[in-house]
Amino acid sequence: MTRKYFGTDGIRGTSNSLPITSEVALKVGQAAGERFIRGDHKHRVVIGKDTRLSGYMLESALTAGFISVGMDVVLIGPMPTPAVAMLTRSMRADIGVMISASHNSYQDNGIKIFDPDGYKLSDSVEIEIENLMANGPGKRLADPADLGRAKRLDDAAGRYIEFAKNTFPRDRSLEGLKVVIDCANGAAYRVAPTVLFELGAEVITLGVDPNGFNINHNCGSTNTKELCSTVVSNNADVGIALDGDADRVIFCDETGKLIDGDQLMALIAAYWSKEDRIRGGAIISTVMSNLGLERYLDELGLSLKRTNVGDRYVVEEMRATGCNFGGEQSGHIIMSDYATTGDGLIAALQVLSVFCHSDNPVSEVGRSFIPVPQKLVNVESVLDDPLAKSNVKSVIRECEKKLAGNGRLLVRKSGTEPIIRVMAECDNQEVIDIVINDIVSAVQEAKQ
C-alpha cells in the first residue's frame, strides 16, 4: 500500500499546507495514540521539537490529539531528535514524537514518531497509523474522566546532557582541545555546547541564537562555510556542524576542509575494530556511501552492507543482522551501544575521543581513505515521477552500461523534497561528468 502522509523520514512538508497542518497533526496524535495504547496503565507520549516557528502550532495540535484519546503528554521543548528517542525509552513512554524537518529551512516542518523502545516506526506501522487516520477517531475518543493531561519536563535538557557525557570514555578529556560547534540555530543550541564545555573543551559557538526563522539558514551541516572559516580564523583544532534536529554531524579539520559521514564511519570503525567492539562483522550504510569506504572496510576485515537511503533503514538492517554500527554519508551515525537513532552529538564525542587520543592534527587523523570520485546533482522536479518517462529510463540504462564494472549509478526521488537525486561514482571523473549530464538533461526535458 502506498503511504499518503509518511515519507522517508516521517511526515514532512511546508508548514500550514498539507500534510503539515494542525488538522493532520491532530489526526496523527489520535491515530498514533490508539495504535500504541496497550494494557491498563496510564499511557503517555513524549513530544519534542526543534526551533521552527511552526513548532508551536504542531505541538499544540498533536497534544490535543493525544489527550483526546486518553494519553498524557510530556512536553520537552526544543531538544535533539535522539533526545526524544532516549527519553521515550528511559521514561517508559508509549510513544515519542519529534516535530522537525531536520535540515530543511524554517518554512518546512515534520513529524517523526518513535515506538516505546525509541526506534523509528517501520513502513507497516506507518501504514497502520494512516489507516486509522482515514477511519476517523470514532470510538477511540476517551470519556471525559479519561482524558489525558499535559505537562512540561523541566529537566529534559539535563537528562540528555548527562546521558551524552556518559558515552565519552571516562579515561579521556577534551581539555586542551579548541572546538567550534555550529548548532544550526536548531534543537541542540543549548545542550551541545554545554556537553563539550563540561567535558573540558574550549568551545566557540555558532548557530546558537534561534528566532524561529533562522534554523539551518547559512549554518549547520548543510552550509558549513562559516564553520570552516571560523575554525581557521580562531586557530581551532576542529569544527563540528549539526543539522536542525541534531541527528547528523559533519566535521572540518584545522585547515577548514570538511570530513563527511563516510570518513567519520571509517575512523570509528578502525578504532572500534582494534578494541573488538564491532559486532556482526559489518558496517551498515546506504547506497550513497562512497566505494572508497567499502574498499577501506574490506582492508579491516569488515564488510559494508548497503540499504535504501534513510537512517531508519540503516537501523532496521542493524537490528536484523546484529550489527551495532552504521550510518550515512550525510552524517547520520548510529551506534546502537548508545542510541536507537542517529545522534550527531554522541557521534561527535566518539570522533573527538579518537582525536584527543592522537598527537597528530585532525587533518591527518580524520581521513582514513581516498574517496572514489563521486558526483551528486539535485534536479528540481514538478512531475510526480519523471523517472517513469520512457526517455529517462532509456538514458539511465545507457549510463548504467557506461559504468558497468567500473562504478555505480543511483537515480532516485528524494523522500523529503520535490527533487530527483542523480549520483554517479567511478574512478574516471570524465565518465562521471558525461553520465550525470546525460541523466540531468533527460530529467529536465521530461518536466517541460
Active site amino acids: 102
Determine whether 143 is exposed, middle or buried from the number of CB atoms within 10 Å of its CB (0-12, 13-18, 19+): exposed
Look at strands 10-14 and 6-7 and give their pairing. antiparallel
Rounded-to-integer distance, Cα 325 and Cα 352, Å: 17
**Long-range contact pairs involving 4-7 (C-beta distance under 8 Å, separation at least 24):** 4/130, 5/130, 5/133, 6/121, 6/123, 6/126, 6/127, 6/129, 6/130, 7/415, 7/416
* DSSP per residue, 43-106: PEEEEEE-S-TTHHHHHHHHHHHHHHTT-EEEEEEE--HHHHHHHHHHTT-SEEEEE--TTS-T
* DSSP per residue, 188-210: TTTHHHHHHHHTT-EEEEES---
Report whether 36 contacts 94 (CB < 8 A). Answer: yes
49: CB partners within 8 A, 6+ apart = 55, 58, 59, 77, 78, 79, 98, 99, 100, 187
Rounded-to-integer distance, Cα 393 and Cα 320, Å: 33
Give whole-number Cα distances, 443 to 7, 370, 399, 438, in Å. 22, 31, 13, 9
Report whether 301 contacts 273 (CB < 8 A). Answer: yes
